[in-house]
Chains A and B, each alone.
Chain A
Amino acid sequence: MKPRTLFEKIWDDHVIHEEPGKPSLLYIDLHLVHEVTSPQAFEGLRLAGRRVRRPDLTFATMDHNVPTADRFNVTDPISRQQMETLKANCEEFGVPLADLNSPDQGIVHVIGPELGLTLPGKTIVCGDSHTSTHGAFGALAFGIGTSEVEHVLATQCLQQHKPKTLEVRVNGKLPFGVSAKDLILAIIAKFGTDFATGYVIEYTGEAIRSLTMEERMTVCNMSIEAGARAGLIAPDETTFAYLKGRRYAPQGEDFLAAVEKWKQLATDPGAVYDRTVEIDASEIAPQVTWGTSPGMGTAVTGVVPDPDSFPTASEQKAARDALAYMDLKPGTPITEIKIDRVFIGSCTNGRIEDLRRAAQVAKGRKVAPHVHAMVVPGSQAVKERAEQEGLHKIFLEAGFEWRDSGCSMCLAMNPDVLQPGERCASTSNRNFEGRQGRGGRTHLVSPEMAAAAAIAGRFVDVREWYKEAKEEVYQ
């Protein structure tokens, strides 16, 4: 048999019907649903007199609109209506829902893996572009529009044109103090925000293999910021150890049998990708974005670039527009950029390991007086775990706000919004104009860099702090 890539194996296993010149019909194993991109889809079903074909393969939660302080008091009537609509739709169509009362509630891409719904070899979709997160488990997971949400609800299938495959090979090891977030930001800065358009990425290489599951999720999460709808990592012992005992994962003997199957998913030796790019992890430093596109980033040791230094006229214009919006001058060292707000959370960096690393930086320190900083756990389970470990106390003592779970200021649909002109160090995934609030200025960073920025009141190279901590230990 011809050697196949991880992607090709999952694809082949889910194609129900193929005809020349037409998209393939792909079976969907898991459909995650949230309140923003589903109401019109359920309405479509109602109008056509259709049912949800497989409520047992569908799982809903509310995350985008959810207030993270005083969560049951939804003051925005339209937000409240959207959440109530989801609840009513789930009841009407028999779809399981983790609502605000549920201990399982959280950001859809945090709870899927946490509950063991996300498994290797599955096809997973959600009306949300960061569905790519689940690819960390070796699942083919991608975001869809609301028309496709309706299509999956009605048929449990999706018409899909087969994407091409792109290997992103990450050689070497990430240096001390450099995180998975820095890695994916560096990949996007190096290759651009559309280099993977039309492709499914598979991340390979030594640096990827040594990442934890949560770090892999951070990398796969931002595949969409490189243009790829999906980003995969082959499942291995790290994956299996994470999944063992999760509620919806196979249990006991079934788990062992599943692991044997999952081991077959890895790309075969000799399989060919349509394209391969490489990056050396050992050369990456902590990253900070300076512009209004996730690819506009640089090392914390760098400076704000001169728009004239870009090769094409359209890139020069984009950089000039970005610097005008961000109110930054070319040549300014990144570490001289002062910030007003800090947001630690989101489906990119709202998991327990993210909070642990941020807490490690915050421990025994104080948030700068002019900075308003908040920590928003990715799920209620992450929140509970963090509180068991005492992380909330570290954050609260340092002067961070400690919130309930939700998407929060990643996209600011709830009351967590930047004011015009405010500058934010954010662990989220998009620094688009107005993303965190009209006129708000977003710099994307890792959780540890965000925590350090909160304390210093400006960007700092968090590696210096780790060094100091080491020296103190030795003295």
Chain B
Amino acid sequence: MKPFVTHTGIAAPLNRVNVDTDAIIPKQFLKRIERTGFGQFLFYEWRFTPEGQPIESFVLNQPKYAGSTILLARNNFGCGSSREHAPWALDDYGFRAIIAPSFADIFYNNCFKNGILPIKLSEEQVDELFTRAETYDRYELTIDLQAKTVRDAHGLSYSFEVDDYRRYCLLNGLDDIGITLQLEEKIAAYEAQRR
């Protein structure tokens, strides 16, 4: 897994609550057997007409948000299906971090497994970021996972909380399976005792 230490990029505001993983990656694109190549289908039904033409009003199709790598979102982002294709699609499109007041559990967890940082800020703070992203042209944020801060070039600086262990794994790009297999003896002992 690729590590996440610091990241600076353009923030795109997606102004909807309860964005579900069906919206992030519609089911017709879940049939691939690879982890890659999902970015082209991200938010497909909001991004493209049924004929495949870009819908200009959708945030990611607006020139001021082209190349954005940080997604600003609303409450309960990532709800619904457990499909990891959702973070794969966000990652493949180029997003490194998502900022929202709250996330659905499975999605939140899946992000960390894929080197994406989901950041919880208060509703007021997220409101402020939405306003700035809509006001300034090509509004950039800098995320520092070591310092647990989100900053912009206009003096804004927010701290965020993240579980220490998740932060440690993400900073170092650690693979969970490798970590667990270090406990092989304990697993084997547990299995033996239950037989």
Contact = CB atoms under 8 A, between A and B. Distances in A.
Interface of A: 16-17, 21-23, 25, 27, 36-37, 39-40, 43, 48, 50, 54, 64-65, 76, 78-79, 81-82, 85, 127-129, 143-148, 150-151, 154-157, 159, 161, 163, 193-194, 197-198, 224, 227, 229, 293, 314-315, 317-318, 321, 411-413, 420, 430, 432-435, 438-439
The 6 A-B pairs at the shortest CB distance, nearest first, are namely A147-B113, A39-B33, A145-B84, A145-B110, A143-B82, A78-B31
B75 interface: yes
Contact of A25 (B45, B76, B180): B180
Given A36-B30, A155-B180, A163-B105, 6 more contacts: A23-B165, A27-B191, A81-B31, A82-B33, A129-B80, A433-B45
B187 A157 contact: yes
Contacts of A224: 80, 106
Contact of A227 (B22, B76, B176, B179): B76
Contact of B187 (A50, A129, A156): A156
Contacts of A438: 26, 45, 50
- Interface range on chain B: under 10, 10 to 19, 20 to 34, or 35 or more? 35 or more
A384 to B, nearest CB: 28
Interface of B: 15-18, 20, 22-23, 26-28, 30-35, 45, 50, 74-76, 79-84, 87, 102-106, 109-110, 113-114, 163-165, 176-177, 179-181, 183, 186-187, 190-191
Contacts of B30: 36, 64, 413
Contacts of A412: 27
A223 to B, nearest CB: 11
Given A314-B75, A430-B80, A27 B180 contact: no
Contact of B102 (A17, A36, A155, A197): A197
29 contacts: A25-B187, A40-B33, A43-B35, A79-B31, A82-B31, A82-B33, A129-B80, A144-B106, A145-B84, A145-B109, A151-B176, A154-B177, A154-B181, A155-B177, A161-B163, A194-B79, A194-B102, A197-B105, A227-B79, A229-B105, A314-B74, A321-B16, A420-B50, A430-B20, A430-B81, A432-B23, A434-B26, A435-B27, A438-B45
Contact of A37 (B17, B82, B105, B191): B82
B180 A157 contact: yes
B113 A48 contact: no
A234 B161 CA distance: 35
Contacts of B83: 36-37, 145
Nearest to A146: B84
A231 to B, nearest CB: 13
Contact of A16 (B45, B109, B187): B187
B165 to A, nearest CB: 5
A65 B103 CA distance: 28
A410 to B, nearest CB: 10
B177 A21 contact: no
A40 B18 contact: no
A193 B18 CA distance: 8
B80 A227 contact: no
B110 A143 contact: no
Given A194-B104, A314-B17, A40 B31 contact: no
B23 A434 contact: yes
A433 B26 CA distance: 10
Given A78-B31, A129-B80, A433 B104 contact: no
B34 A40 contact: yes
Nearest to B34: A40
